[in-house]
Structure 1
């Protein structure tokens, strides 16, 4: 199938973007046998660290954005069959600044051009975006077919959500008419007033034509918080290695992704 590019984005930090990117990549690769490229666009490089590909001394996506190296030159294998990584590092700070200042060449479509060069090698590219609308995020949206927005179930869950939707609309209008929001994903759910309130609000948003991921029973799909999620990240293991609700929930997310992509092809 044509490589499907999925940008995972939220303007807030700590909402589970990297955890979602890593687990989705692993499940699609290990359980669905899809060839997946996880592209790390965040200077914190959490996805690179999870897959044990972080090394501040090597070339990364930063150099690809500055067009000084090709994407194929930086891709690394991981411990997981079918899953490769395009790593990141703090050099993304320099890349964002240089791309923004370089008015001699197009600034917005550098990742799209880079991904075109390896499109026949992967079924999916999961783009883990930084918590900011910088040049990396704009490039990710211009390249992406789909957007997933993780929203953590706390008091300030929706901060920045509508700004993200406005940015997606602007990119669709000006650069990438095919981009779609696949869904908003409730993360870090715990039993309590704020989490339940977020689920109710997400249910209302879905009825207002903001797509929200749904579980098999029709309820809002949520990713339950567990200390095992943090433990899995520390151990560089996907959450499906643990018997916790989040394991089933992330597998449901991957199933929805596959069904959505297959439905779009028909």
Structure 2
């Protein structure tokens, strides 16, 4: 199971939209996908119809009260299961930080190891934070991708996210790799073009060639709780998410090939 973190310390950059649509594209390819909602707001859980407090959630995994198998819920989308989140994650993060008697950073990694053979991919939709559950997610991950919406604060957020992730790579997870930045809500105006050019020219950002075009269909899809490819399969964003997922898979395949050649 390959674990992909979708993360940015900024909110409103389409982390959840990217997570659910990437998961859907992979699922339509016949891949088994586990999606983890790692945000106390629970937007991914709500999208897949598994939000609530009646069943255990990611908080219980963080507190080592339940295994991943106990927490995973089926969805109505073929090949997609979810580990949900709710506001209990806020308390769980605080309690993990206060627990000095057992490892704090590897709880999610250990839980996912038990279900790794059941899935091809795990996509983690992270909160705009660097709290203990996000540290756990990056410690467990193979890759991280940073969605960016171009505005005056874009580059500060990306720089800090990369810095934090690289610290986690150095201290807890040497296999963690930065796959790149994905421009979302892209419009054909000067600000977006200039921002995209800057990201392209700065090699540290590893910008994906694909960008996700802005369309009102994406916002509409959050109300219908449908992947944009289902809600509006002909819109630009639907085609873009397919292209982005293919580009990501190619980058992984290419890097694995290069690694094997060394």
Question: Structure 2-normalised TM-score?
Answer: 0.94
Tell whether the 8 Å contact from 2:200 to 2:206 is kept in structure 1 after alignment.
no
Displacement of 1:92: 0.6
Tell whether the 8 Å contact from 2:211 to 2:244 is kept in structure 1 after alignment.
no
Partner of 1:245: 236
What is the alpha-carbon root mean square deviation over aligned residues? 1.1
Gaps of 5+ in 1: 215-220
Partner of 1:224: 213
Residues 93-146 of structure 1: CA deviation (Å, up to 9, x unaligned): 001000011000000011100010000000000011000010011001100000
Secondary structure of 1:150's counterpart equals strand
Paired with 2:165 and 2:71, the residues of 1 have a C-alpha distance of: 28
Structure 2 counterparts to residues 83-162 of structure 1, below 5 A: 83-162=80-159
Paired with 2:124 and 2:46, the residues of 1 have a C-alpha distance of: 15
Paired with 2:219 and 2:251, the residues of 1 have a C-alpha distance of: 29
Partner of 1:62: 59
Paired with 1:210 and 1:229, the residues of 2 have a C-alpha distance of: 25
Partner of 2:7: 9
Q: How many residues end up aligned between the 2 structures?
A: 255
Displacement of 1:264: 3.5
Partner of 1:202: 199
Gaps of 5+ in 2: 258-262
Displacement of 1:59: 1.0
Partner of 2:250: 259
Residues 33-74 of structure 1: CA deviation (Å, up to 9, x unaligned): 100000001011111111111113321001001100101111
Secondary structure of 2:25's counterpart equals helix
Paired with 1:156 and 1:111, the residues of 2 have a C-alpha distance of: 31
Tell whether the 8 Å contact from 1:17 to 1:150 is kept in structure 2 after alignment.
yes
Secondary structure of 2:156's counterpart equals coil
Residues 224-258 of structure 1: CA deviation (Å, up to 9, x unaligned): 11111011111111111212110111001111222
Question: Structure 1-normalised TM-score?
Answer: 0.93
Give the structure with the larger helix fraction: 2
Displacement of 1:196: 1.4
Paired with 1:78 and 1:107, the residues of 2 have a C-alpha distance of: 30
Displacement of 1:263: 2.7
Paired with 2:254 and 2:75, the residues of 1 have a C-alpha distance of: 30
Partner of 1:211: 206
Secondary structure of 1:29's counterpart equals helix
Secondary structure of 1:163's counterpart equals helix
Displacement of 1:79: 1.2
Displacement of 1:204: 1.3
Partner of 1:72: 69
Tell whether the 8 Å contact from 1:55 to 1:89 is kept in structure 2 after alignment.
yes
Displacement of 1:260: 2.4
Say yes or no: does 1:82 pair with 2:71. Answer: no
Secondary structure of 1:222's counterpart equals coil
